Amino acid sequence: MIKTLHEQCRRLNFEFEILCIDDASQETCKNNSDVCSNLAHCSYERLQINQGRAKIRHTLALKAQFDLLLFLDCDNAIVNPKFIEYYLNHKTAQVTYGGRTYKPTHKPEHLLHYTYGKKRESISAQQRNLKPHRSFCSTNFLIQKSLFLKLPKIKNFKGYGYEDLAMGQFFKSNLIQIKHIDNAAIHLGLESKDVFLSKSINALENLKNLYHNKQIEQQQVKILNVYLKLKALQLHHFLSFKVLDKLKNQLKSKSPSLFLFDLWRLHHLHKIFNVPNT
């Protein structure tokens, strides 16, 4: 990806820099160090302890010398030969999101993540523009540096999950428009079924913290809205069902159901909301 970005920027003949921070990644991203060392206007730094995307992005923004920032996660691939040019055509917008897509094939152990990504995240710009703030994702977006540095810090945030919604809520509350375009990056970082389920629970813990800290609204997140409505009707106790293992087995099968995945998440959200805050 780095070589592709560098070549596109060089060909367009404008001033640029590529800053890479490796957040204590696995082996798959370590070869970026050698790539960066051989390219002009490119730097690489590897951390020994994982800091999380929010903190890393803030560090990158502070290091950046230009006023326009393009954030890309390292597990993306760029296939559009005019990827940078498309973004530059929208450089006057405050925030521009290009989208996310997936390869047509995947490994069997990635099926649940792939199914979720294809149906819930791989959305056209036309669809995303219907709910621009709710559809924002921070894996592939362009933003003005001064605006990015105004983003509030996220409290009690662990790992990954739902920070994009907090950013979208900030933009909405401050009347900042998000422009959605069809300039997708391919998400290559699919997780195994067990890892994806584990990270989904972690994301729900973040969701609870963001809601309690008033950094997102109930209506902004469908699963949160459903749970709180059930709770208001005193129906949330039905989420303490005893078939969790059967649900999990179905999600790890050859035909995972996203409806059952949502039910599984509602069960865990109920458990998380009933754990006292520390």
Mean pLDDT per segment of 10 residues, for the chain of length 278 residues? 90 91 66 73 82 83 94 90 95 94 91 94 94 92 94 74 88 93 94 94 91 86 91 78 80 93 92 74
Of the residues 167, 191, 215, the one at which a domain ends: 191
The reply to whether 15 falls in a domain is no
CATH at residue 97: 3.90.550.10
Both 207 and 183 in one domain: the answer is no
| Rounded Cα gap, residues 260 and 116, in angstroms | 12
Phi, psi dihedral angles at 261 (to 5 degrees) = -65, -40
The reply to whether 7 falls in a domain is no
Both 60 and 179 in one domain: the answer is yes
pLDDT score recorded for residue 278:
47
pLDDT score recorded for residue 13:
87
The reply to whether 182 falls in a domain is yes
pLDDT score recorded for residue 26:
63
| Rounded Cα gap, residues 231 and 236, in angstroms | 5
Both 101 and 67 in one domain: the answer is yes
Of the residues 159, 191, 223, the one at which a domain ends: 191
| Rounded Cα gap, residues 130 and 262, in angstroms | 23
- Let me know: does 118 contact 215? Beta carbons within 8 Å: no
pLDDT score recorded for residue 184:
95
The reply to whether 29 falls in a domain is no
The reply to whether 223 falls in a domain is yes
Both 63 and 165 in one domain: the answer is yes
Instruction: Tell me, yes or no, if the pTM score tops 0.85.
Output: yes
- Let me know: does 101 contact 186? Beta carbons within 8 Å: yes
Of the residues 191, 213, 235, the one at which a domain ends: 191
Type of residue found at 207: L
pLDDT score recorded for residue 204:
94
pLDDT score recorded for residue 33:
65
Both 172 and 114 in one domain: the answer is yes
The reply to whether 9 falls in a domain is no
Q: What is the 3-state secondary structure (H, E, C) of the chain?
A: CHHHHHHHHHHHCCCCCEEEEECCCCHHHCCHHHHHHCCCCEEEEECCCCCCHHHHHHHHHHHCCCCEEEEECCCEECCCCCHHHHHHCCCCCCEEECCEECCCCCCHHHHHHHHHHHHHHCCCHHHHCCCCCCCCCCCEEEEEHHHHCCCCCCCCCCCCCCHHHHHHHHHHHCCCCEEECCCCEEECCCCCHHHHHHHHHHHHHHHHHHHHCCCCCHHHCHHHHHHHHHHHCCCHHHHCCCCHHHHHHHHCCCCCCHHHHHHHHHHHHHHHHCCCCC
The reply to whether 244 falls in a domain is yes
The reply to whether 162 falls in a domain is yes
Both 223 and 179 in one domain: the answer is no
Query: Residue 198: which of 241, 255, 158 has the closest Cα?
Result: 158
Both 103 and 231 in one domain: the answer is no
Q: How many domains does the chain have?
A: 2
Both 210 and 251 in one domain: the answer is yes
pLDDT score recorded for residue 18:
92
Both 186 and 58 in one domain: the answer is yes
Task: Name the residue range of residue 248's domain.
Answer: 197-273
pLDDT score recorded for residue 80:
92
Both 202 and 187 in one domain: the answer is no
Both 216 and 90 in one domain: the answer is no
Both 164 and 234 in one domain: the answer is no
Residue listed under structure tokens 């995947």: 106
